[in-house]
Amino acid sequence: MKSSIAKTQTFKHRFERFSDSKTKFKLTDFKVFENKHILLIDDVITTGATLVACCNELLKVKNITISIATIAYTKKG
């Protein structure tokens, strides 16, 4: 599903993460995901930019259900 080689976003600010993630995901075959339940797994959620970008692309598919699993998240503050 990724359309480019992703570089780490560890040192980027929130705005930069969301800007970068918008173009990283491109679905090429929508039919494969129709009527499916997809589990997205991310090790650490910092801003959620990666998951939002991925979900936005997947939500173009008919009758899809998306669940998210993570090990940790960072708290702002």
Spatial separation of the C-alpha atoms in residues 63 and 66, rounded to whole Å:
10
Question: Which band of pLDDT confidence, cut at 50, 70 and 90, is reported for residue 49?
Answer: confident
Which uninterrupted H or E stretch holds 40? strand 37-45
Q: Is 38 exposed, middle or buried (0-12, 13-18, 19+ CB in 10 A)?
A: middle
Which uninterrupted H or E stretch holds 6? none
pLDDT, tens digit, for every residue of 9-41? 555 555 565 455 555 778 889 999 999 999 999
Q: Tokens 């918008």: give the residue.
A: 22
User: What pLDDT score does 47 carry?
Assistant: 85
Spatial separation of the C-alpha atoms in residues 25 and 2, rounded to whole Å:
5
pTM over 0.85: no
